[in-house]
């Protein structure tokens, strides 16, 4: 079976998903993605004529993100007509599933190298746009499980993780983000995006340093007597990420050192009311599948949908603090749904290179009760 490598990956800065105040309020999702894709091609020197396919993760597949956005991005970018494209939706795990699909196609020998992407523009395509759930989906469930904030409140109650602990996690996520920014870590992954004739953006819009005292003054947003606030949950955001994936012949022909090898991926389902615990079951399944122990994993990236959700996963899996989300996460940066899976995989890959790590795991909880986890390896 072919070995598969995440050769390189880059992303846009993440903007607020606000129709007027967001970084990309005047830039469409497809135009944003084209800029990131073209930057990836330019910085790697990859040959578009040798790309077999393009898989793109996106959740809101309507309005400017509809009609198979993957293929439309390729056409807008002026890439060869011979490259096909498919758009993937596994909610928050969409672009990690796109990366898995690309990996599996290479392992099976069907393809040699692919482009993978993820994008979400919640400022233009709101999370509830064109939404029409079948009422029967709610039969048999005590919680309105489509509301991710209520699933987070449920975890807070069940695991007795109070507001103070969640706010402390928020402070830490932001501090780690700014420390990484200060030491230049994000220059490895963020590319400049032109948003107007006289403005280019390179900085994430949402991270901010605050104190426990300031955070304690914020009101809760899902329950009047709850614990979840706008600060200790991930922000509604816009952004795009792109990556180049290839087999061993690809890296040999380009004579390049890939970021990581993509070893294995698992997906799981669970009760939608416990959506946030998806990484627990996915990571355990992944370790069983690969016969690795928790102690052998050098770094973990778990998407920070909510502070409480990551804290619960960390507790259940007994992940050391210095191995988890070492450069901050979505509580600081925001969570563009279709972008986030690939974004945290690319961040983990760059982190593994920076720290000379051998094994890393990237994982996300997924709405409607799912989880995904992927094992990355770097020859240290």
Just list the catalytic residues. 92, 335, 365
CA dist., res. 372 & res. 362, Å (int): 8
What are residue 8's DSSP bridge partners? 244
Strands 113-121 and 199-201, sheet pairing: unpaired
Q: How far apart are CA 116 and CA 56, in angstroms?
A: 6
Cβ(324)–Cβ(360) below 8 Å? no
């Amino acid at each position: 079976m072919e070995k598969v490598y995440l050769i390189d990956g880059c992303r846009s800065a993440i903007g607020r998903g606000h129709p007027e105040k967001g970084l990309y309020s005047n830039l469409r999702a497809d135009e944003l993605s084209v800029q990131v894709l073209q930057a990836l091609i330019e910085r790697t020197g990859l040959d578009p004529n040798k790309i077999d396919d393009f898989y793109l993760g996106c959740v809101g597949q309507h309005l400017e993100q509809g009609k198979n956005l993957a293929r439309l991005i390729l056409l807008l970018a002026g890439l060869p007509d011979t490259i096909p494209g498919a758009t993937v939706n596994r909610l928050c795990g969409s672009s990690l599933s796109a990366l898995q699909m690309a990996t599996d196609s290479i392992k099976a020998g069907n393809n040699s190298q692919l482009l993978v992407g993820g994008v979400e523009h919640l400022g233009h395509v709101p999370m509830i746009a064109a939404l029409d759930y079948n009422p029967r989906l709610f039969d048999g469930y005590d919680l309105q499980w489509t509301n991710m904030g209520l699933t987070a409140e449920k975890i807070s109650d069940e695991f007795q993780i109070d507001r103070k602990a969640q706010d402390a996690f928020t402070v830490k996520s932001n501090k780690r983000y700014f420390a990484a920014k200060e030491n230049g870590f994000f220059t490895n992954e963020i590319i400049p995006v032109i948003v107007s004739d006289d403005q280019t953006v390179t900085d994430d819009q949402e991270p901010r340093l605050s104190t426990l005292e300031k955070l304690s003054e914020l009101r809760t947003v899902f329950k009047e007597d709850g614990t979840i606030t706008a600060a200790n949950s991930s922000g509604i955001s816009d952004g795009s990420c792109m990556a180049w994936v290839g087999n061993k012949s690809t890296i040999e022909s380009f004579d390049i050192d890939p970021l990581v090898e993509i070893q294995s991926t698992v997906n799981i389902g669970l009760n939608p009311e416990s959506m946030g615990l998806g990484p627990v079951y996915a990571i355990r399944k992944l370790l069983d599948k690969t016969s690795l122990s928790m102690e052998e994993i050098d770094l973990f990236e778990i998407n920070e949908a909510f502070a409480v959700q990551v804290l619960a996963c960390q507790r259940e899996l007994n992940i050391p603090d210095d191995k988890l989300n070492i450069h901050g996460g979505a509580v600081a940066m925001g969570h563009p749904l279709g972008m986030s899976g690939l974004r945290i995989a690319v961040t983990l890959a760059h982190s593994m290179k920076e720290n000379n790590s051998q094994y890393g795991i990237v994982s996300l909880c997924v709405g409607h009760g799912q989880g995904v986890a992927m094992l990355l390896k770097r020859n240290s």
